[in-house]
Structure formats: C-alpha cells, structure tokens
Chain A
Amino acid sequence: MPVRANCHRHFLADTMPDGTENPLKYYRGIAMRDAAMTAIKPGSRDKFDLDSMDEDDFLVGNQGGIGFGGGISGGFIQFGNWTGDLEQNPHNIVHVLVGRGGGWIGNPITAGVDPLFWLHHCNVDRLWQAWMGAPGKHMVNDPRWNHGPADRAFIMPVVGGNKPGISFGGQDCLAGGLFFPQYDDLTKGTGVTQGVQAVTRVSMGPSESQTVEVIGANAGPVRVSAEPAMTEVAVDLPGANAAVLSMGVTEPGEEVSRLYLALESVKGDLASGMLDVYLDLPEGAKPEEHAEKHVGSVALFGLNVASKPDGPHGGNGLSYTIDITDQAKQFTAAGLGKGLLKVTLQTRDGHSGDATITVGRLSLLKRTGKVG
C-alpha cells in the first residue's frame, strides 16, 4: 500500500505557509514521513477496505449485531457491544495499524489527543455521509443515534488546552449540525457514487423486517495467546441448510439469507490488536501459510477499555461479525453439511505479543430477509 504517496502534503511540509515550523511534521518525535513508513506496514491480511459501504442497512436486528452502524450503546441495551461494519473497517483497523508503532491513536484513552485522530474521524464522518447519500441505503432516524453516544460524551480539545473543550454528539456531525462540513466530493475514495445505485449485493428488504438468528455456536470460551487456537462451531442443520438454500436467491419477494461468523464478548488487556480468523484449517497447519482459509480479521481497538469490569461496557468486551456469505462454497466443504465448522483464531504477530485474548463464544448467525 503506497502509504507515503497517500500521506497528505500538509503532514510532510517542513514549514507552515507563513514560514514557521510545521507542527504536523512530527508524530511522537518522529518525522511524519518516517513514521508513516515504519508504523504502517500492512501485511497480507491487513486490509483497509470499503466493503462496509456495500451494506444496505444501518441496523439489522434489535441490538445491531449486523449492519453498517453497529450496536447501540447506552443503558437500555446493556449488552450491546457489537461492532458495526464501518466501525470495524476502516475505523478500527486504521486505529490499530496506525497506532501499532505506539502512536496515541492506537489507544482509545489517548486517541483524541492525536492529530491524526481528527483527520481519521472526519473521514469516517465523510464515509457515513456518502453512504447515506447513496441510493438503496437505509439510515435510521432514531434519537438513540442522533443524540448518541449515550455512554460517553465526545469532547474536542481546544487550542491552548483550555477546559472543558467542545462537547458534541452524533447529530452535530450530520447535515444541519454544528460541525457538518460542506463536502465538495462524496464519491472519490468512498466506494459509492451519489445518486447511482451500485448493485453489489441483493437487497434484503426493509431493515426492520429482516431477522437475525443464531444457528451455530462453539462449546465455550476460547483463549488465544501466541499460539493459534482451534474451536469447533456446532451447527443446527435445519437452520444451516435453509440458509445455504436461500443464500443466492435473487427473485423479488423470495427469502434470501446471509451468514456471519460472530466473535462474542472478546476480552483482553490490549489497547489494540488483530485477530485473524480461519476456517477449516488442516490439522497442525500454520495459519499464515493458508491465505485461502482466511475468512476475515477483526481489529481489536479499545479491547482494554471494553474489558474493564467497572468500565462502560461492564466488562463484556467487544463483539464482532464477519460476513462469510461469499465463502459459502468454502465452508460448505468445511463441514457445514456435517453440522460442524472448524475455526482457528490467531493473534497477529507484532500486535498482540504474549497477551491473551478470550473469545466468549463463537457463533454462526443467519440473517434473513426478502429480496427487495
């Protein structure tokens, strides 16, 4: 990935327009041009992508386990620790990979004081705006999002460090809000074109009519440390067979399904890290040698905060879903028909070290809707 080529010139310039030294040139004492080249070394499974923009629904199901937006935080949904598609990639993965070298952006506790944080989050806001403006996307008009987040306040530091900074919420970054910018282009680098519907996947109908149900789960918590950990997800065959049959359906009005692997209540002490997920890995095989078995990675940004028993997540950790619909053939061969899926988890070298990550449960989710 040509990071340096994409590094904005304002971060590389020696001086400001007025000739004074450019404060953006240095990142934690390292010249930005070097920091960008050394800290971000995307590996074969590190993927900044815009797949999340293909998702049509902001929220599917009651808790947001699946969807563009993610789980609803706050007291009313106390176990809602799900990570949304946009939040997972590119949001989390940028935090994890850019912060890997020790940058403030890699830890949710310090991320807000990192200048890159604001650049990154403005881009996330821009992607959200672009997604809402693309046809076929179902944004929710819900005070829980507009007035959110419920579990904490966003505060932007002000120049000079004067307290208390500027408090703002979700709606302040949306159209009509205090910090809503005038975007001159919502197409470049967003994965969607305004006003043009790119049919990348079949519409599953109104979000509120879709259902999400669990059709498989492993036996108990899995601990992953330096060595990969394997677990078996026992699958409910009637549910799985019905899902497989309706996965490729395109006839309007017919039932259509997608399948997701869910990593529930992932906990650990790491501020950030990466967890790679493989399906049907041969016995004793090294995961990194089987890219074809890699079904996804989760960027564990903020695991430390979410795992604290007295933290805002109540120690429930974070939960993730990986859309595995497109790997249907692979996991059908991997044993879905026999009612057993073999899943291997591996922490990424250089991210997690010897730290242990616990996955509370691995489950298989079936999302069902009607072709719209």
Chain B
Amino acid sequence: MTGLIEHFRRPPWPALLGVSAAGYVIWLLGSIGVLPAAVCVTGAGGWPGGAELWEVVAATLTLNAPGSLLTGWSMMLVAMMSPLVAAPIVHVQQSSLARRRARAVAGFLVGYSMVWLAMGVPLGLLALQAQAAFGPSAFPLAVGVALIWSASPVHRRLLNRAHRSRPISLFGMRADGDCLVFGIEHGLLCAATCWAWMLVPLLAADWHFTAMLATGIVLLAERLSLPRTAQWRMPVAMSLALRLRAHLFPLVLNRRHG
C-alpha cells in the first residue's frame, strides 16, 4: 500500500487525480440538477419494442439538447480518462524544451480529446442500439462483453501498444505536430482498448455514476498493468476484484470480532 501511495504522490498523479475528481463531481452535480448538464445518453427503462435506431436517436436528441449530451460526455471523459494519460504526459513534458512543456502537453491533449469526443457518436449509437434491442438486459450484457473483451489477446495487444511512446521533435511546428499526432495515436489506441468498458456506464441507467466510477478504476488498473504476451487471461477487473476481496475480508472479519 505504501508503494501505491508513493506512486500516486508524485507528479503528474496528484494533478491528474484532482482533475478526475473534479470531473466526477461536476458530472454528479449535473445529474442531480445542480448544474445545467444533462448527462444520460440512453433512456433508463428501455425503448418501445420495434423502435428503429433513428427513432431512438431522434427521441434522445429531443429529450436531451446536443450541447448537454456533449457536456455530459466531456465530463465523463475528464473524470475517467485523466488518470490514463499520466505516462504520455510525462513523456511529452520530458521530451520538450522547458519553455514549451505546457504547449506540448496541450497539443497532446487536443489530439487525444479529439478522438474521444468523436468516439462519443459511435459509442452512443451502440449504446442506444443495445438498449433498444435488449432492454434491461443490455447492462449485464455490456458487463459480460467488457469482461470477455478484457480477457482477449486482441485487447492485451492493443493495451501493450498503448504503452508505446513516440519521439517528439524539439522545435517549431514539427514539435507541435508530433505532440498532436502522439495525442491522436494514443487516443485511438485508448479508444480501441476501452470501448467495451465505456458502454457499461452508458447502459447503467440509474447506476450511471457508480458504474462510471467503477469503470474508471478498472480502466486505470488495466492501463497500469504491465505489457505482457497477448493471450487469453483473467480480466484485470476480475483480478482487481479478487485482490480487493482479499484485502477487505480480513478488515470485515476483524471488525466483527474486534
């Protein structure tokens, strides 16, 4: 545990965890109406049988202003993705001239965010489609798909690629371009790796916030797991749950007997 704290104590972790926490808080305030942000992408109780996808999309856009959907999606990304970019941010900072570091990080984040903002459309449509097709079963189905995806060799291979750095030029437009391209490249790998888990909070209806928080932790644990041979493995989420259980059980037992 001390090792874990030691890691999170060092830059850029405190700042990124702070931004992530702010994202969760703003999302929560939006969801209870304190802030004017509608954040639910899908209908909570499913859609009428036989509804076409375009009808569901039209209904969603009628019920939720596009601006609100964008705000909600953005806050989800800020909350869940901020801790995932620690390593590339350190790489971009350390690869750049001291006076250009902030600009370099901004360039990376622009590229990274562009990919994830765009991913909101296919993921949203997929979530709506799943909701329309499976109704209340869509959420457990999404969890199952995410677990199978996480266990697959393809997922591991993509996750390994997401650990890859890229040389960054030092001067001028090339430096800006490299940071932007690295951001896009990393964003694409991140999206390709995380898409299945991102569907889980989108389909969690009333449990959206809890699912978002749990998924955020799973994605961080996946990202922090070391690159390894691509083969079928126990999903990181499951090993995380088992470790948590091993840590929490003694606490619960001690409390009972203490």
**Chain A residues engaging chain B, CB cutoff 8 angstroms:** 61-63, 65, 74-79, 142-144, 147, 150-151, 212-217, 219-221, 234, 236, 239, 264-265, 309-316, 360-361, 363
Contacts and interface: CB of A to CB of B under 8 A. Distances in A.
A142 B174 CA distance: 38
B247 interface: no
A265 B13 CA distance: 24
Q: Give the secondary structure class of A's interface.
A: loop
25 contacts: A63-B90, A74-B226, A75-B223, A76-B13, A77-B87, A77-B90, A79-B87, A147-B3, A214-B97, A215-B97, A216-B170, A217-B169, A220-B167, A236-B170, A239-B97, A265-B167, A309-B157, A309-B164, A310-B160, A310-B227, A310-B228, A315-B160, A315-B163, A315-B227, A363-B170
B7 A144 contact: yes
Given A79-B90, A314-B161, 12 more contacts: A62-B11, A78-B163, A78-B224, A142-B6, A143-B6, A144-B7, A217-B95, A219-B174, A309-B164, A310-B157, A314-B163, A314-B164
Interface in B88-102: 88, 90-91, 94-98
B90 A62 contact: yes
A143 B90 CA distance: 21
Interface string B147-183: 0000000001100110111011111001000000000
A76 B156 CA distance: 17
Contacts of A215: 97
**Which of B11, B91, B170, B229 has the most C-beta atoms of chain A within 10 angstroms of its own C-beta?**
B170
Contact of B227 (A150, A313, A361): A313
B35 to A, nearest CB: 33
Given A79-B90, A214-B96, A239-B97, A234 B170 contact: yes
A233 to B, nearest CB: 9
Nearest to B6: A143
Interface of B: 2-3, 6-7, 10-11, 13, 86-88, 90-91, 94-98, 156-157, 160-161, 163-165, 167-171, 174, 223-230
A264 B164 CA distance: 13
A310 B227 CA distance: 6
B165 A217 contact: no
B102 to A, nearest CB: 14
A363 B97 CA distance: 11
Nearest to B175: A217
Given A62-B11, A315-B164, A236 B97 contact: yes
A69 B204 CA distance: 47
Contacts of A311: 227
B229 A310 contact: yes
